[in-house]
Amino acid sequence: MKRIFSNHSLNVFELTLHEWPYNTHTHNFCELIMVKQGSGYHVINDTRFPYGKGDIFLLTPEDHHRFEIDDVTVLLYIKFTEQVFSEKQVWTKSAWIDSNHGFLFRSNMIIGSIIKNEADSSRIFYLSDMLLDEFRSPGIYSRELMLELFGAIIIIALRHLSVELQDSKVGKKESEKINNILAFIRLNINNESKLTLAEIAEEFNISVNYIGEYLRTQTGKGFKNLVLETRLERASVLLQKSTLSISEIAEKTGFTDASHMNKSFKKYRNINPSSLRNSKK
């Protein structure tokens, strides 16, 4: 698969497309893509879903994607690498950057637009248009202004990317930690060597003797159940929205094989994968 590279820490531009000119590809950067006009289908990580005006997508270096364009589509791109965060001194001194900027560079398997709130979506489009204008016609202190606009956009996006726990007793700090652990599980769902209590304990600086109890306390589920539910959920999405074979989906979601996935769906979802796929059709 082709990988596109960028030497810019921040790049902003707009494209008007009648058809998608690129093959499915990955990047060495993140990109926010705003749909200003048009419709069709967006395929991210083999998952196909409709897009339309007002949608906002986040692509990380871990993701691969393409657009299938039905109507003339105008896309506003904001491409950025980790280097952009080092340019703004207040970010590098902040605990916010430590807990969140790495989160942006992980594949979180978000299906569809990352912003569901209409007011925040409007804010991002407004700020992005300002950023694009400044990028096209720079003036004095342009870089400083662009970093401020970019920072505002990222902060709005981050508050929608962090899933709020239903348990209101969980404090902000613990909420961030458990969300990052769940994101780690999603990212490594087909990497068995990473999905161990010892690996997660080391990754998040938690005692290996306590990590199992911690996960159960914060989520109400044991570690094995968390992993299995994550696999089933991701497989369900791929079965309903992708054209991958059942064997390919089993491989991508960490099941031993198609038979293992089939048995798990029957036991825990009371349906088999082929029935789930056919019901969507």
Average pLDDT of the segment spanning 225-233: 92
Report the percentage of the chain scoring pLDDT > 70.
81
Nearest CA to 75 out of 52, 49, 99, 94 is that of 52
Whether the per-residue pLDDT at 228 is higher than 60: the answer is yes
Domain spans, the chain: 2-161, 172-280
Average pLDDT of the segment spanning 31-45: 93
Domains 2-161 and 172-280 share a fold: no
Residue 159 or residue 150, greater confidence: 150
pLDDT at 100: 53
Q: Kind of pairing, strands 2-4 and 25-27?
A: parallel
Is the Cβ–Cβ distance between 264 and 255 less than 8 Å? yes
Pick the CATH number of 2-161 from 2.60.120.280, 1.10.490.10, 3.40.47.10, 2.170.120.12: 2.60.120.280
What does the mean pLDDT of the chain come to? 83
pLDDT band, residue 135 (cuts 50/70/90): very high
Task: Return d(Cα 85, Cα 93) in angstroms, integer.
Answer: 11
pLDDT at 247: 93
**Residue 35: left (phi > 0), alpha (psi -120 to 50), or beta?**
beta
pLDDT at 82: 77
Please state which CATH number belongs to domain 172-280: 1.10.10.60
Task: Output the furthest CA–CA distance in the chain (Å, rounded).
Answer: 64
pLDDT band, residue 170 (cuts 50/70/90): very low
Residue 4 or residue 1, greater confidence: 4
Whether the per-residue pLDDT at 74 is higher than 90: the answer is yes
pLDDT band, residue 41 (cuts 50/70/90): very high
Task: Return d(Cα 50, Cα 35) in angstroms, integer.
Answer: 12
Report the chain's C-alpha Rg in angstroms. 20
pLDDT at 166: 37
Please tell me whether residue 4 adopts helix, strand or coil conformation. strand
Exposed (0-12), middle (13-18) or buried (19+): which is 175, by Cβ within 10 Å? middle
Is the Cβ–Cβ distance between 87 and 9 less than 8 Å? yes
Whether the per-residue pLDDT at 186 is higher than 90: the answer is no
Average pLDDT of the segment spanning 47-75: 91
pLDDT band, residue 179 (cuts 50/70/90): confident
Check residue 92 and report its DSSP letter.
H
Task: Return d(Cα 250, Cα 204) in angstroms, integer.
Answer: 28
Exposed (0-12), middle (13-18) or buried (19+): which is 73, by Cβ within 10 Å? buried
Report the percentage of the chain scoring pLDDT > 90.
41
Phi, psi torsion values for 157, nearest 5 degrees:
-65, -40
pLDDT band, residue 111 (cuts 50/70/90): low
Average pLDDT of the segment spanning 108-114: 70
Please tell me whether residue 245 adopts helix, strand or coil conformation. coil
